[in-house]
Amino acid sequence: MTLGPQTRETLQPAPAWEVARWFNADAPLSPEALKGQVIVLGAFQLLCPGCVSHGVPQLARAAATFDPADVAVVGLHTVFEHHDAQGPATLEAFLHEYRVTFPVGVDAPSKSAAPPRTFTAYGLEGTPSLVLIDRAGRLRARTFGRADDMAFGAAVAGLIAESGVTAGSNAGAETDRIAAATPAGDCKDGSCAL
Amino acid sequence: MTLGPQTRETLQPAPAWEVARWFNADAPLSPEALKGQVIVLGAFQLLCPGCVSHGVPQLARAAATFDPADVAVVGLHTVFEHHDAQGPATLEAFLHEYRVTFPVGVDAPSKSAAPPRTFTAYGLEGTPSLVLIDRAGRLRARTFGRADDMAFGAAVAGLIAESGVTAGSNAGAETDRIAAATPAGDCKDGSCAL
Amino acid sequence: MTLGPQTRETLQPAPAWEVARWFNADAPLSPEALKGQVIVLGAFQLLCPGCVSHGVPQLARAAATFDPADVAVVGLHTVFEHHDAQGPATLEAFLHEYRVTFPVGVDAPSKSAAPPRTFTAYGLEGTPSLVLIDRAGRLRARTFGRADDMAFGAAVAGLIAESGVTAGSNAGAETDRIAAATPAGDCKDGSCAL
Amino acid sequence: MTLGPQTRETLQPAPAWEVARWFNADAPLSPEALKGQVIVLGAFQLLCPGCVSHGVPQLARAAATFDPADVAVVGLHTVFEHHDAQGPATLEAFLHEYRVTFPVGVDAPSKSAAPPRTFTAYGLEGTPSLVLIDRAGRLRARTFGRADDMAFGAAVAGLIAESGVTAGSNAGAETDRIAAATPAGDCKDGSCAL
């Protein structure tokens, strides 16, 4: 499931993020500054139905699942339609109502009618999109549409494991993280205890 | 997210599987014979609601997500209640109706009223349970209850990556696997194409 | 949404139920004995995936939604395949594990390889199926497959209303029944309080 | 399940709708003008998570389930927070992206910091809310929070049936409406055909 070593050389450095404004961040973020961590960059628009129902909640699950020391989850609000309807004030309220706590950057608009700058620099196709950047700052995967949680989790873990960094200190926490709920007693809430 | 290297030594070898009968397998399977692969062993009962709604479908997703060369998905039908109701004939029909194609072993009954033998050998608490065994045949994680897809995928990928085996040949397939669907055109089925 | 008055005459009396054994019932039930109530008869098989995930839970919702004085919810376990796998002992365990508390009758087998008797008498096509019988004991609707909750609720209510019986005593309870949950305070669990 | 006849006298006439702007309507709508139809009025805010995930889709299901000759489904965008973020331009884009085709009125703001006028006139508690108005223009039920589809469908059908209007012309369509899908052949997509 890991992205293999022979493709590393061919993968370009992750393009810079051109962001007009950051939310949930004390200072601007960049792939350069986040080197050493795997980066999950999630592109969305607040009026994109699949982003609201799937993309943004999936980013929140990623932020809750992975150790922040290993993985940085970053949202990119990349508006390529309905510009008047998806301005910063609306985004700020959206982030509040949907309890989004990971950092979100507003993709800088282009000068023409073209899509925003980071969207273009990353060659994105639409929203929701997921971008994976490895610890060395290289663009490793891009997806468009509804991503599957299991394959996504596996891909991120594959990039974490590439690092050679010892992540052993959280061994043992694994079991707790996998199990969302451990019911007890006879069959209850679907699970059957001995 | 990987289970760290310092815990390896402390982890015991995976106990043998005591299986009365196999389905979807040409020959009996064992942790010993599957060495080299990561093993996902999923314990279930066909009348356990959480197994039917979550556990068994999750095993099927794992079988579809991971390369069989890396990961062996194996079911364990481990009946500790309603023995008359969950016999082999019923299991066979269940596997047929639910389109289960991965191998499933019937956990050998104990001589007393105790739970089945493999259930006991693995110290399971109930169903559904997930057991992860690494490429070296060591028991690495056990969970009980509803496991989260993202953390589960990450845990399996972490074990895959431990091997030192070059998995590079499937690089490039990553993107396709993550994206379950890539809609095109204007916002459709939830996603918004450029 | 109600089934109109002009079709009443053309609708045949509901055929008798030929049941080999009842669960969750003190005595055998029949359309004749239940006259005066609307009857929701739900046909299922315990190894039919759509019955387990949708049909049986929907019957349970119907039993919880409608006043038992108005509506009798009855299950019909009608086995037309995997006979050995879906016997009474397995059904009994199934009903226990899935917390089914409404009455369930085991459709009497035919003498040949034909489907069970009630299945045939009602002209069913498979499982899950829903049958609606009006207060006068007439067969009013049959469906096969996944039924929509809103349309189903409307159809049942339409039959209740046909009766001319004053159901006014539960007025006011309506609001509570519609709202499954009434969150309070700021936006929480999805709802936004003033 | 019907709202009983003895409560009719006590139910007040539905207050007028004070709407600043209509979408998906050729002319302003009112309870008065819609007399003769049952009215489902659904209050929402476009940044209210429960409205987006449940309330608005439920209104769309109601519009698809009931005969427009019997039931008018009307949305009320009633903003009591994040006013700058939920203006008409954003609402228009929201309605476009979420494929909302039923009429939606923008609740007229109050002069003070109080909630919008129709919200207050109807004594609503928050969003999402559902309001049921009978054919005679009387306010019959109000709910706040996540409403259950089956009970909601039953409540609407109960109001339809109160009318004394013959709805028989759609008899026979019932079965088709209940069944969302009728699979054929062996167990497939969950249902098992004979």
- Angle, CA of D98, D102 and D107, to the nearest 5°: 90
Higher-confidence position of B122 and A186: B122
Among the ranges given (A41-55, B15-29, C4-18), the one the predictor scored with the smallest mean pLDDT: C4-18
Question: Structure tokens of C182?
Answer: 């009434």
Q: Is A123 helix (H, G, I), strand (E, B) or coil?
A: coil
Contact C97 B53 (CB under 8 A): no
| A126 sits in which H/E element | strand A126-127
Give yes or no for residue B24 having a pLDDT over 80. yes
Q: How many CB pairs under 8 A join A and C?
A: 4
Instruction: Write the CB contacts of A15 (distance below 8 Å, at least 6 apart in sequence).
Output: A31, A118, A121, A122, A139
Report residues of chain A scoring pLDDT below 70.
Answer: 1-10, 163-186
Contact C92 B86 (CB under 8 A): no
CB C77 within 8 A of CB C106: yes
What residues of A are in contact with residue C192 (Cβ under 8 Å)?
97
B126-127 and B38-44 as β-strands: parallel, antiparallel, unpaired?
Answer: unpaired
- The answer to whether residue A187 neighbours chain C at the CB level (below 8 Å) is yes
- Phi then psi dihedrals of residue B112, to 5 deg: -100, -160
- Phi then psi dihedrals of residue A123, to 5 deg: 65, 35
- The answer to whether residue B186 neighbours chain D at the CB level (below 8 Å) is no
pLDDT digits (tens, 9 = 90+) for D36-88: 999 999 999 999 999 999 999 999 999 999 999 999 999 999 999 999 999 99
Q: What is the mean pLDDT of residues B3-10?
A: 34
CB D124 within 8 A of CB D43: yes
Contact A150 B150 (CB under 8 A): yes
pLDDT band at C10 (very low <50, low <70, confident <90, very high): very low
A146-147 and B179-181 as β-strands: parallel, antiparallel, unpaired?
Answer: antiparallel
Query: Residue D100: what pLDDT?
Result: 98
Measured CA to CA, the distance from residue A94 to residue D85 in angstroms comes to 8
Q: What is the mean pLDDT of residues C15-39?
A: 98
Higher-confidence position of D75 and D185: D75
Instruction: Write the CB contacts of A194 (distance below 8 Å, at least 6 apart in sequence).
Output: B80, B115, B119, B124, B125, B126
- The answer to whether residue A148 neighbours chain D at the CB level (below 8 Å) is no
Tokens 């009857």 correspond to C39
Among the ranges given (B132-141, D69-78, D103-112, D164-173), the one the predictor scored with the smallest mean pLDDT: D164-173
C-beta atoms surrounding A57 within 10 Å: 14
C-beta atoms surrounding D188 within 10 Å: 14
B neighbour chains, 3+ CB pairs within 8 Å: A, C, D
Which positions 12-41 of C are in contact with D (Cβ < 8 Å)? none
pLDDT digits (tens, 9 = 90+) for C119-177: 999 999 999 999 999 999 999 999 999 999 999 999 999 999 996 443 333 333 334 44
- Mean pLDDT of chain C, nearest integer: 85
The CA-atom distances, in angstroms, between D143 and each of B126, C65, C106, C188, D161 are 41, 16, 40, 16, 21
- Phi then psi dihedrals of residue A147, to 5 deg: -90, 145
Query: Residue B178: what pLDDT?
Result: 56
Angle between the N-to-C axes of helices D149-161 and C149-161, in degrees from 0 to 180, rounded to the nearest 10: 40
Choose among A141, A178, A193: nearest Cβ to B148.
A178
A neighbour chains, 3+ CB pairs within 8 Å: B, C, D
Measured CA to CA, the distance from residue D114 to residue D71 in angstroms comes to 31
Measured CA to CA, the distance from residue A68 to residue A52 in angstroms comes to 23
* Cis omega (within 30 of 0) for bond into B128: yes
C-beta atoms surrounding B29 within 10 Å: 19
CB A178 within 8 A of CB B155: yes
Query: Using CB atoms within 10 A of its CB, is residue A35 exposed (0-12), middle (13-18) or buried (19+)?
Result: middle
- Say if pTM beats, i.e. exceeds, 0.90: no
Query: Residue C163: what pLDDT?
Result: 64
What residues of C are in contact with residue A193 (Cβ under 8 Å)?
none
Query: Using CB atoms within 10 A of its CB, is residue C154 exposed (0-12), middle (13-18) or buried (19+)?
Result: buried
Indicate which of A2, A40, A47 best probes the interface with B, i.e. most B CBs within 10 Å of its own CB: A2
